């Protein structure tokens, strides 16, 4: 489960994670370890542009990755919605050390950062050294409960 579920996404996350539009997607955005803001600050950002306008810096060498295999499961017994996805792989990853991984909703694959909604932030501390790096999304990496 994510360390932070952004306030802006709590009410609509299960709907948007179902990818209701023809060209929308979930996207993984890696942040550098240096100057990463704390969770109490980050939770209040409403867009990816706002996250990146703060002290946090995107680790652009690894690049953003579209998240595939997204499933949304309603669990009436536990009164929650579980969102799952395929693992994300960066092949021969290089660049600055990472500190966090954001999962964001992109309303259109060409959307500007000001239109991208951050869903979750996971701690993601790795030092890219040319080897493959995998972000594993175990079943139910993100829950929405009432």
Give per-residue pLDDT as tens, 70-99.
Answer: 888 777 787 777 788 899 999 999 999 999
pLDDT of residue 131: 96
Q: Which is more confident, 140 or 146?
A: 140
Average model confidence (pLDDT) for the chain?
A: 86
List 75's β-bridge partners, or say none: 80
pLDDT of residue 146: 41
For residue 88, report the phi and psi dihedrals to the nearest 5 degrees: -110, 135
- Total domains in the fold of the chain: 1
C-alpha separations of 7 from 10, 13, 33, 119, 120 in Å: 6, 10, 22, 8, 10
Range of the structural domain that residue 132 is part of: 4-145
Residue 13 has pLDDT above 80, yes or no: no
What are 61's two structure tokens?
């060498």
pTM score, whole prediction: 0.85
């Amino acid at each position: 489960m994510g360390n932070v579920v952004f306030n802006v996404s709590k009410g609509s996350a299960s709907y948007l994670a179902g990818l209701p539009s023809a060209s929308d997607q979930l996207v993984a955005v890696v942040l550098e370890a240096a100057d990463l803001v704390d969770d109490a600050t980050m939770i209040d950002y409403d867009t990816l542009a706002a996250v990146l306008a703060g002290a946090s810096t995107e680790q652009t060498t690894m690049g953003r990755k579209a998240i595939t295999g997204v499933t949304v499961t309603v669990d009436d017994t536990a009164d929650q919605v579980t969102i799952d996805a395929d693992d994300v792989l960066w092949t021969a990853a290089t660049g600055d050390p990472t500190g966090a991984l954001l999962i964001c909703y992109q309303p259109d694959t060409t959307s500007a950062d000001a239109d991208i909604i951050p869903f979750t932030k996971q701690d993601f501390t790795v030092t890219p050294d040319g080897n493959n790096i995998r972000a594993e999304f175990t079943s139910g990496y993100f829950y929405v409960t009432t």
